[in-house]
Structure 1
Amino acid sequence: MQAWGAGAIAALALLATSATAQDWMPLDADNTLVMETTQGRVIIVLSPQMAPQGVARIKDLTRQGFYNGLLFHRVIDHFVAQTGNPNNKDGGKSALPDLPLEAVFRLAETVPHSVVAQPDGATTGFIGAVPYVAMTDRHMPPAGDGSRAVRAWGTHCRGVLGMGRGDATDSANSELYLMRDTVTRLDRDYTVVGRVVSGFEVVAALRVGEPPSQPDAMTRMRLLSDMPASGRPKLEIMNTAGGAFATLVKAKRAEKGADFSVCDIMLPVHEVR
């Protein structure tokens, strides 16, 4: 489970009573994965703005049923849980062609994003539910042609979903990994495609090993939009453009002080009744 300090817990309690309808938004059904595992359900929000080809590939394979039944064949404490290989070990892939690396992308002014910190030489924040790092705004080209953008990349906070690859840079295919801890040394080497918004405790409970002696499995993976309405998880996620999110960031920043980073923020979700 997520560890919140006293200040952030107090802020969450306040948000529960003071947040308005504008502070919450429905999950994007076309870009939300519902992963059923032997340890429980994990809900992941995808970011096509960061990795359009990677997200499209995962959605295609999900709709084919490719991931159903595949094992978590490599699970390392404080690192990653890997899955998505049809032979349930490193090196397997789908019959589709490999993908180019999408580790770094252009973050344009026109892409909705929310800044939470500006450490020296960088800007950090969220695109939807997924944390990113970018060059500072002062590196953005002058306005004029409507295409102002800076270099940015998804950062490997706990719960981030990425695409595994082989030794070749452009070899992502079907393998997935879930971050069981924050390991930012992976940034700019692997394609970040999304982040867990519900089910962090499930990822933490996956049995460890390379491979585990009794590996867990993805029993079924679906897109939220493909599920019958009666069976869909009824969740809303905090809107990063709202006042409640600003309050949450302020509380977490006060709690962490100089150690504060974008990885300290996990967007709350709540059930809609």
Structure 2
Amino acid sequence: MKFRLPLTALMLGAALAAMPAVGKDKDKEPAATPAPAALPTAVDMNISHEPENVLLLDLSNGGRVAIRLMPEWAPRHVERIKSLTQQGFYNGVIFHRVIDGFMAQTGDPTGTGQGGSELPDLTAEFNAMPHLRGTVSMARTNDPNSANSQFFIVFYPRFALDRKYTVFGRVISGMSYVDAIQRGEPPENPTRVVQASLASEGKAAPAVSPAPAGAQPVPSVSELNNSRSN
């Protein structure tokens, strides 16, 4: 059997709850919830600054790509990329999914798009950073918390990806070599990451064949806008 309070008791309880607080804490206001700190949007383009947060990708097309890692945006994802890089995980890995006008994806040691590292998947760190040209973001499955080792570099802005994929860095040098990555899913002759390192390690770029003659870099967004305005 369920016991119910009489109506008068309920009314009395409501009245007491509505009365102002008394005593030493009567003048205290409830603590305000602090607003989340705004993420920095500026990216330092100088490779010599904080070299421990600059990822260098030496590609089989003969170029070196420098990526500014942004722990302020996605600390756990940056930590993962740095850890795998120092283990040599990315050395020899191909760009297995490269879509013209969209992005170039790498980070799978099997080259199939189905592989990853032996480390556990990461909890998503979606942020407000837009997917601009040169943005570096983590690949994942339909599960938001499935990013592991694969990442992609954006050729053109793709704002539909914002807040759905974890942005953790941006290309600060060598974007023309990203543009020259062979297209395909997978490409017939895929471009490889010959060596991945952090700038703080001071590793020299390995000797590789230069990029194929006639490879045309994709124009920058500003160049596109200027051409449209003329």
TM-score by length of 1: 0.57
Identity of aligned residues (%): 43
Mapped partners of 2:68, 2:116: distance in 1: 23
What corresponds to 1:207 in structure 2?
Answer: 182
| Kept in 1: contact 2:129–2:167 (CA 8 A) | yes
* 1:167 maps to 2:142: yes
Give ranges in structure 1 of 5+ residues lacking alignment. 1-22, 105-152, 233-251, 260-273
Q: Alignment length, in residue pairs?
A: 164
TM-superposition CA deviations, 1:178-228 (whole Å, max 9, x none): 101111110000000100011111011011011111101000000001115
What corresponds to 1:74 in structure 2?
Answer: 97
Which of 88, 105, 108 aligns to 1:65? It is 88
Mapped partners of 1:212, 1:224: distance in 2: 29
Counting only pairs closer than 5 Å after superposition, residues 141-220 of structure 1 correspond to structure 2 as 153-220=128-195
- Alpha-carbon spacing, 1:209–1:56, altered in 2? closer, same or farther (3 Å): same
User: Over the residues paired in the alignment, what is the CA RMSD in angstroms?
Assistant: 2.0
| Kept in 1: contact 2:47–2:54 (CA 8 A) | no
- Alpha-carbon spacing, 1:63–1:89, altered in 2? closer, same or farther (3 Å): same
| Kept in 2: contact 1:161–1:196 (CA 8 A) | yes
- Alpha-carbon spacing, 1:202–1:25, altered in 2? closer, same or farther (3 Å): closer
- Alpha-carbon spacing, 1:171–1:26, altered in 2? closer, same or farther (3 Å): same
Which of 44, 51, 55 aligns to 1:33? It is 55
Deviation at 1:24, TM superposition (A): 7.1
| Kept in 2: contact 1:91–1:166 (CA 8 A) | no
Structure with the bigger percentage of strand:
1
Mapped partners of 2:95, 2:49: distance in 1: 26
What corresponds to 1:3 in structure 2?
Answer: none
Mapped partners of 1:170, 1:49: distance in 2: 19
Structure 1 residue runs of 4+, over 6 Å off?
Answer: none
Mapped partners of 2:151, 2:111: distance in 1: 12
The structure with the larger Rg is 2
| Kept in 2: contact 1:74–1:209 (CA 8 A) | yes
Structure with the bigger percentage of helix:
1
Partner amino acid, structure 1, of 2:58: E
Partner secondary structure for residue 154 of structure 1: coil
| Kept in 1: contact 2:68–2:170 (CA 8 A) | yes
* 1:223 maps to 2:203: no
Which of 93, 105, 109 aligns to 2:116? It is 93
Q: With CA pairs under 8 Å and 6+ residues apart, which has the higher RCO, 1 or 2?
A: 1
Deviation at 1:25, TM superposition (A): 8.4
Give ranges in structure 2 of 5+ residues lacking alignment. 1-44, 206-221
| Kept in 1: contact 2:47–2:199 (CA 8 A) | no
TM-score by length of 2: 0.67
| Kept in 2: contact 1:69–1:219 (CA 8 A) | yes
